[in-house]
Amino acid sequence: MRKSAMTLAPATVGLALVASPAFAATGPFFSLHNTNFIVLLAFILFIGILVYFKVPGLIGGLLDKRSSGIKSELDEARALRDEAQSLLASYERKQKEVQAQADRIVDAARADANAAADQAKADLKVSIARRLKAAEEQIESAEKAAVKEVRDRAVIVAVAAARDVIAKQLTKEQADGLIDSSIDTVKARLN
């Protein structure tokens, strides 16, 4: 059964083309019994009504209005795009300027840091030299004080030893004679 339906299919397609609505009308073309003529009259009447009520003009006006609206929107979009591009270019230019300024600030900060480090090194060297000098002066002063103390002590010890030796070897009359000669020497130098 299926086989016979397939064999009939091409024949039915051909009949469907032959049985189109154009071939459905019977009789003369300009008769009210001819559907093609009725459809043509209805179409012409419809077109006439559209023309009478100026629908093509209204549709044209609406299309023109829509076209001008679209054109103005396109112009506005173009202007906005141009403005956005100029804004973008200005922001990119500002960003480059800011980046250059930031680079200059970083370079200046680096140079300042290097200069401050060099100055700190120089100050440290001066401070170390000053402290070394002060330490050397203190050591020298301590040495001088120690030497003076040793000398003073040696003088005191020598004087004490000499006094003991002189006291043991000197008689009373020799001591009085020495005192008198010392007094005369002092008088002679003071006058």
pLDDT digits (tens, 9 = 90+) for 98-153: 999 999 999 999 999 999 999 999 999 999 999 999 999 999 998 888 888 888 88
pLDDT digits (tens, 9 = 90+) for 33-91: 888 999 999 999 999 999 999 999 999 999 999 999 999 999 999 999 999 999 999 99
- Domain ranges, ordered by start, for the chain: 24-53, 55-148
Residue bearing the bigger pLDDT, 90 or 190:
90
31 Ramachandran zone, left/alpha/beta (phi>0; psi -120 to 50): beta
pLDDT value of residue 6: 46
Residue bearing the bigger pLDDT, 20 or 132:
132
Average pLDDT over residues 7-11: 47
Confidence class for position 9, pLDDT limits 50, 70, 90: very low
CB atoms within 10 A of CB 50: 13
This prediction has a pTM of: 0.38
Q: Cα dihedral angle (127, 130, 133, 138), rounded to 10 degrees? A: -90
